[in-house]
């Protein structure tokens, strides 16, 4: 008997395989295809020859924990204790899984805002708890009336994703004020804030839960070195939470992975001494603008992208077919792989929108746009 009877290959695996099978340009999965910083390559090569290959401490290398504490202070003016309030994790996905497993009990309810990334629901189901999927508005802003209507004494956690994947939407000050207001009467509800794209924002500045006085003491905040440093294959993330919450997450973490790759941690620690994370936004702003200018020549309608390295588009004027069929046809007939947004919804809501990843070199983006020009003829 399966504990996850409705789980199957996710859309990212399916579309990447199709891209390979049909020699399509893969703008579906969210990973950069350009080289990492040569300085990081030098650091890894050098440290790999040192005595750094045994287990790291369970919570993370102390020097890296200090760096994360300084990063948090510099960017959010929040002082955290590196020894008790930061956990290095095997990617953001492990942080999310461990946080949910640590606090969500059978029969609890967890609010997820759709469209949502696919790693949120599974740990809830494995806890014998109930995911409460609430759709964002059509512009991807939170529907606080709907959220409040679904909050009960069973609600254990609300999961936020800001900047938002797949839409690139960023929460505003007003959004946070609304959230703070509606949870005042629910002191036991925790916030799990997925902020893996926190340093990839453009015109509007990212507002982190780290800066919210009314939220931070009841929040678990997830970040990703993989996204920030273009090292997705390293699977290194971190989680920030008050000590009384983090000690419960550590109980799960130590039996899930115990500790995280020691060479990767040491390399990131040294790299953060020479790398300014503010450079990340500049890099991806250039790529977003470059890709948007290319897509403007195609039949697709661009939707706003305030952050992340994803561009959502509407194909409503091109085809009436559902978004899964449309994305598959884009692969087989045009040679570009994307992600249909309906897969991010509990009820497979189809708004005739798809997502492209623009974390690619310029040549790849140009070739993809040239192929997308053919869409009008399919």
Q: At 324, is the secondary structure helix, strand, or coil?
A: helix
> In whole angstroms, what is the distance from residue 378 CA to residue 345 CA?
27
- Say what the pLDDT of residue 13 is: 85
Residues 139-184 have pLDDT tens digits of 999 999 999 999 999 999 999 999 999 999 999 999 999 999 999 9
Vertex 295: Cα angle to 292 and 299 (nearest 5) = 140
| Sign of the alpha-carbon dihedral angle for 303, 307, 309, 310 | negative
> In whole angstroms, what is the distance from residue 181 CA to residue 171 CA?
15
Confidence grade of residue 367 (pLDDT, cut at 50, 70, 90): very high
Q: At 245, is the secondary structure helix, strand, or coil?
A: helix
Confidence grade of residue 4 (pLDDT, cut at 50, 70, 90): confident
Question: How many C-beta atoms surround the C-beta of residue 17 within 10 A?
Answer: 14
- Sheet strands (E) in 152-251: 155-161, 190-194, 219-224, 237-240
Vertex 201: Cα angle to 242 and 198 (nearest 5) = 20
Average pLDDT over residues 270-294: 97
> In whole angstroms, what is the distance from residue 195 CA to residue 272 CA?
19
> In whole angstroms, what is the distance from residue 182 CA to residue 196 CA?
25
Q: At 234, is the secondary structure helix, strand, or coil?
A: helix
Percent of the chain with pLDDT over 70: 99
Q: Is the pTM of this model over 0.75?
A: yes
Give Cα 146 to chain centroid, integer Å.
23
- Say what the pLDDT of residue 378 is: 61
Whether 119 and 93 have beta carbons less than 8 Å apart is answered as: yes
- Give the H/E segment covering residue 249: helix 243-256
- Say what the pLDDT of residue 210 is: 98
- Say what the pLDDT of residue 7 is: 76
Helix axes 38-47, 262-271, angle to 10 degrees: 130
CA-only gyration radius of the chain, Å: 21
Q: Which alpha helices (DSSP H) does 199-314 contain, by range?
A: 225-228, 243-256, 262-271, 278-295
> In whole angstroms, what is the distance from residue 371 CA to residue 25 CA?
9
Helix axes 278-295, 362-372, angle to 10 degrees: 30
Question: What distance, in Å, lies between the first and last C-alpha atoms of the chain?
Answer: 44
> In whole angstroms, what is the distance from residue 159 CA to residue 110 CA?
7
DSSP 8-state class, residue 341: G
Pick from 224, 236, 229, 173: nearest CA to 198: 224
Whether 262 and 56 have beta carbons less than 8 Å apart is answered as: yes
DSSP 8-state class, residue 226: H
Residues 183-232 have pLDDT tens digits of 999 999 999 999 999 999 999 899 999 999 999 999 999 999 999 999 99
Per-residue pLDDT at 8 exceeds 80: no
Q: Which alpha helices (DSSP H) does 113-242 contain, by range?
A: 121-126, 144-150, 173-182, 225-228
> In whole angstroms, what is the distance from residue 41 CA to residue 235 CA?
16
Average pLDDT over residues 317-336: 95
Name the percent of the chain in helix, strand, coil, to the closest 5.
40, 15, 45
Instruction: Count how many residues are written for the chain.
Output: 378
């Amino acid at each position: 008997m399966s504990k996850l009877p409705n789980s199957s290959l996710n859309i990212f695996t399916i579309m990447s395989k199709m891209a390979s099978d049909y020699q399509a340009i893969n703008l579906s999965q969210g990973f950069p295809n350009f080289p990492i910083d040569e300085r990081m390559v030098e650091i890894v090569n050098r440290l790999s020859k040192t005595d750094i290959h045994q287990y790291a401490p369970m919570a993370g290398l102390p020097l890296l924990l200090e760096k994360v504490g300084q990063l948090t202070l510099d960017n959010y003016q929040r002082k955290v204790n590196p020894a008790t309030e930061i956990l290095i994790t095997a990617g953001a996905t492990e942080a999310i899984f461990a946080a949910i497993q640590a606090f969500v009990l059978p029969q609890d309810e967890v609010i997820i805002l759709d469209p949502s990334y696919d790693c949120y629901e599974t740990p809830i189901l494995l806890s014998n708890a109930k995911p409460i999927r609430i759709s964002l508005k059509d512009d991807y802003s939170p529907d606080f009336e709907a959220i409040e209507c679904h909050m009960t004494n069973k609600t254990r956690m609300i999961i936020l994703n800001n900047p938002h994947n797949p839409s690139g939407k960023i929460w505003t000050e007003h959004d946070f004020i609304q959230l703070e207001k509606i949870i005042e009467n629910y002191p036991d509800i925790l916030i799990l804030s997925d902020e893996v794209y926190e340093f990839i924002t453009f015109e509007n500045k990212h507002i982190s839960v780290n800066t919210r006085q009314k939220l931070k003491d009841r929040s678990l905040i997830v970040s990703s070195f993989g996204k920030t440093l273009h090292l997705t294959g390293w699977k290194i993330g971190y989680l920030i939470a008050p000590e009384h919450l983090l000690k419960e997450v550590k109980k799960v973490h130590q039996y899930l992975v115990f500790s995280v790759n020691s060479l990767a941690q040491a390399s990131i620690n040294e790299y953060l001494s020479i790398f300014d994370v503010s450079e990340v936004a500049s890099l991806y702003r250039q790529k977003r603008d470059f890709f948007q200018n290319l897509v403007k020549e195609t039949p697709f309608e661009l939707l706003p992208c305030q952050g992340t390295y994803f561009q959502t588009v509407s194909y409503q004027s091109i085809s009436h077919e559902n978004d899964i069929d449309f994305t598959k046809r884009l692969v087989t007939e045009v040679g570009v792989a994307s992600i249909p947004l309906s897969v991010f919804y509990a009820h497979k809501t189809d708004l005739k929108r798809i997502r492209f990843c623009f974390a690619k070199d310029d040549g790849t983006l140009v070739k993809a746009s040239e192929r997308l020009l053919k869409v009008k003829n399919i």
